[in-house]
Chains A and B, each alone.
Chain A
């Protein structure tokens, strides 16, 4: 078998900080590692198909790969939400542990088998920012009726808190904020949000995103074509994705704080933390939603939710007793 070229469609704009860049770098990595035997040609959002049609493009064979986030396809299977992140769910380290060591990948494969594709973790934003708000939030009552852009299950959480939730693509959010259609919006974190210009309209930047404690990106490949590849090329795709999972997270960790400094120093953005009653109500709503999913009639959704919650209850013992305790100690005592 000679050299071949695969098309990778993405849900991100070209060069989009962290995510779009990560997709391109993954493509370049695979091309380089395979010595050109497998060249990956990247098509940014909208170049070949609209961003939210990327998975369909792979299933339909008009692309071999898609780089995006699994929760975009929650209308194909709600269980896919878990492979991006759910409200009050896993951090990026915990997610990798579940997917690789605690049965996550097997469930993911089972879901994607229905569509003839396979998913790999391919990046992670780390814990996101909670959102941009036109007005300060002093408590839960301020959430009533605000028009908030936030997608997925996180959107349902905010709905339960009393917000009016809409979802729109990255490129449309600014316009909606500008025109007053939205009072608030969340996208990713400082590194990305700076690029979208939200600071021009909203000055209150809230942390942390309890609805998106991490956003894992995925690489989806056409399973039949993947299995036809020689094993070394299969390994290259798999391992390059794994390398990018780490690389993208590092990119966000390095650049989020720098972007936040720019936002605060140059654009007058005020960094705030959500009031406790909002965080508490968010947790209650998340419990309700996850319980609903665990009681789902769909066997695969039920199974995935159970696996995720079981893993989370194990993982959080380490995160809280070790990482969390350390973070608290460092913040409190270590001054340098």
Chain B
């Protein structure tokens, strides 16, 4: 059980790290896009690569932080029955969801996406826009990273559920347990 708790902590730590780093891309999107606007309207110049850049940063950001968002329980749930459910019940739902929905999805994205990304690396694919960004293959790789990071976090969810069902949730630090997540109303919903 301690080993399981350790794995949960390692995976969650990884996604927290990735999430904390890649969240800053949102500020970068703002700054790059603003620069493009200023160049365009004030100096009547623009660079195709910069127009690619802020768009790509968004793609990189939202795929990279997906596992982190899962860790933070930010992905919306239909919570009519889920919110009032007991923690054991939530644990069971998460096991079912990860095994039957999340992991197959990750597998499909990964398996069908792999040749797509590998080819892009082989030809060192750049932006389709002439004068655009190099390194489209890196952006495409984020599709695989997305699948990998949420699969890992999914596995962490299953392991946490196992701890819960064995009455060993206290092996996890407070912030990785279930209780914490129900105190505040979900902030999102746009």
Contacts and interface: CB of A to CB of B under 8 A. Distances in A.
B127 interface: yes
Interface in A136-184: 145, 147, 151-153, 155-156, 159, 164-167, 181
A74 B131 contact: no
Contacts of B78: none
A52 interface: yes
Contacts of A145: 44-45
Contact of B48 (A52, A77, A166): A166
**Residue in B116, B123, B125, B129 whose Cβ sees the most chain A Cβ within 10 Å:** B129
B23 interface: no
Contacts of A159: 131
B126 interface: yes
B182 to A, nearest CB: 39
Given A164-B45, A164-B46, A166-B46, A75 B51 contact: no
Given A147-B46, A164-B46, A76 B125 contact: yes
B130 A167 contact: yes
A6 interface: no
Contacts of A74: 128, 130
A56 B116 contact: yes
B46 A153 contact: no
B115 to A, nearest CB: 6
Give chain B's interface secondary structure class.
loop
Interface of A: 52, 56, 59-60, 62, 72-77, 114-115, 145, 147, 151-153, 155-156, 159, 164-167, 181
Interface residues of B, number: 20
17 contacts: A56-B116, A56-B119, A59-B115, A59-B119, A73-B128, A75-B125, A75-B127, A75-B128, A147-B40, A151-B129, A153-B130, A155-B129, A155-B131, A159-B131, A166-B48, A166-B51, A167-B128
B82 interface: no
B101 interface: no
Given A56-B116, A59-B119, A75-B136, A164 B128 contact: no
Contacts of B112: 60, 62
Interface in B120-138: 123, 125-132, 136
A167 B115 contact: no
Contact of A52 (B115, B116, B128, B132): B128
A115 B51 contact: no
A75 B112 CA distance: 21
Contacts of B125: 75-76
Interface in B62-105: none
B128 A165 contact: no
A304 B146 CA distance: 39
A115 B128 CA distance: 17
B130 A155 contact: yes
Given A59-B119, A76-B123, A77-B123, A165 B131 contact: yes
A55 B127 CA distance: 15
Given A52-B128, A75-B128, A165 B48 contact: yes
